[in-house]
Copies of this chain bind each other. A is one copy, B any other.
Amino acid sequence: FDPKLSYMAPISIFRGYYLKKSEPRIETLSFCMTLDEDMNYDCLLLQNLHKWVAVESDSVQPQTRQEVIRMIDIAAENLQALGADVTLDNASFQQLFDGQHIPLPPVILAKLGKDPLKPTVCFYGHVDVMPAKREDGWKTDPYTLTEIDGNLYGRGTTDNKGPILAWIHAVTAFKALSIDLPVNIKFIIEGMEEAGSIGLEEIIERENERFFSDVDYIVISDNLWLTTKKPALTYGTRGNACFSVEVEGGEKDLHSGGVGGIVHEPMSDLIALLDSLVNASGHILIPGIYDDVAPLTEEEKKLYDTIEFDLQEHKVNIGVKNFIYNTKEDILLHTWRFPSLSIHGIEGAFYEPGIKTVIPSRVIGKFSIRQVPHMNLSTVERQVKEYLEDVFSKRNSTNKLRVSMKMGAMPWLANINEPQYKAAKKAIQRVFKKDPDMIRDGSTIPIAQILQDKTKKSVMMFPIGAADDGEHSQKEKISRHNYISGTKVFASFLLEISKVHKESQGDSN
């Protein structure tokens, strides 16, 4: 890896660039538009992605931990080449199931510029990846960046190496063109995201008064557009409250012949409890559960009108023939901003193929509620417990019930009127010539909520990958178009946010 080459190379790809260096005004900063999508495969944008993808930085399996650490080092070198002040925050150790301790990869905290007159934008990314082996069903080697029909295949291309490089290359462009960066930039880059961001929350808390103290905006680019063609900005995710419902009968599993008919069977109780949770159309039956769901405003409703979303395509993507609802609005609202309840399975019962006429003595149902603003986790926990205890008491069963919330992650919701959403929208309009879909994510992305909750800063999710990128799958890719446009749009965003920030400061003064 040659940092000098990394620094210089973007010049070669900003062909046809013209700019009055003394006036780096947004209006004239057309360089990003001229990035050549037909550039040679050995250009540096692709070379870097090729190098990063080649590192098997799988954070899930302990045996590849050294590769994750090596990947962190490579990313740190890239940032140092930009002129950033890079700190490796050595997190502690991870204890494995077998009791063994292995080192956690350090977290990169990097700073570039500290002009008090400029806003400070912090970019979050992760350089670790999910496991991938050729024999899992990959058509190409997962660690060899391979282009097929305009798509760049490889593990980590879209999740999350490609977007990090797009951000780095956007900054590199300013450097290469000797244009002053319009903002101060910080990076927080971790290597344990796919394993649950072990150790990160602790670092964020510790750095809240230091690294994050002067941050104005936090940008995450670790999700996807809603469609394959239209850019998007993400302003919310659902939370996740995972419950276990344990029903315990006698001391041991029994035989349905010997005692079937004379004992209260834990499975019957559990099935009745689980059946009381949700009706056939997905409506949650727990009293009061919808009380704190934020009312849908007219302004919010309008956001859904312009979203491009093909129900038929969505059906094909997820492999179902039917949805519960028939309109785009209903599908998106029920995916993103209304709570849902799913039953995942039962522990302790017979689960194998075939027949076993057992009466299991202790069974544990697993279900989760994807909760939304402004549902409160402890309220949800209380509502679930009280309701299930009530349903159970009506059965007059002699078994024992234990309900517990095993995991609770808050939903995340940003204010789309914040400056960085406006700036990102302008950057997208400039690069893609269209307005972004303003979207949420039905899944839980803890990092967004954690960063917002701990730092109290404005957080935005700014994806550059398309809906069909196949994160975590055996055909993970990012398109050449999206990867290169990602650099353009991030560079444009840096210019726009400096302007919108100044306006917003003017407004507030």
Evaluate contact between A319 and B252: CB separation under 8 angstroms: yes
Question: Chain B residues near A242 (CB, 8 Å)?
Answer: 355, 357
Q: How far is the CA of A272 from the CA of B278 in the complex (A)?
A: 10
Question: Chain B residues near A264 (CB, 8 Å)?
Answer: 280, 282, 322, 324
Question: Chain B residues near A180 (CB, 8 Å)?
Answer: none
Question: Chain B residues near A342 (CB, 8 Å)?
Answer: 256, 260, 265, 267, 357, 359
Question: Chain B residues near A368 (CB, 8 Å)?
Answer: 256, 355, 357
Q: How far is the CA of A366 from the CA of B278 in the complex (A)?
A: 21
Q: How far is the CA of A349 from the CA of B342 in the complex (A)?
A: 12
Question: Chain B residues near A397 (CB, 8 Å)?
Answer: 280
Evaluate contact between B275 and A261: CB separation under 8 angstroms: no
Q: How far is the CA of A444 from the CA of B355 in the complex (A)?
A: 14
Contact with B along A346-359 (1 / 0, CB 8 A): 11011111011111
Evaluate contact between A345 and B335: CB separation under 8 angstroms: no
Q: Tell yes or no: A161 within 8 A of B by CB.
A: no
Tally chain A residues at the interface, Cβ within 8 Å: 77
Evaluate contact between A347 and B353: CB separation under 8 angstroms: yes
Residue of B nearest to A353 (CB): B347
- Which of B262, B278, B322, B353 has a CB less than 8 Å from the CB of A334? B262
Question: Chain B residues near A280 (CB, 8 Å)?
Answer: 264, 268-269, 272, 395-397
Using a CB–CB distance below 8 Å, which chain A residues touch chain B?
237-238, 240, 242, 249-252, 254-265, 267-269, 271-272, 274-275, 278, 280-282, 318-325, 331, 334-335, 338-347, 349-353, 355-361, 366, 368, 370, 395-398, 406-407, 441-444
Pairs of residues from A and B, 3 with the lowest C-beta to C-beta distance, nearest first? A257-B443, A345-B350, A261-B340
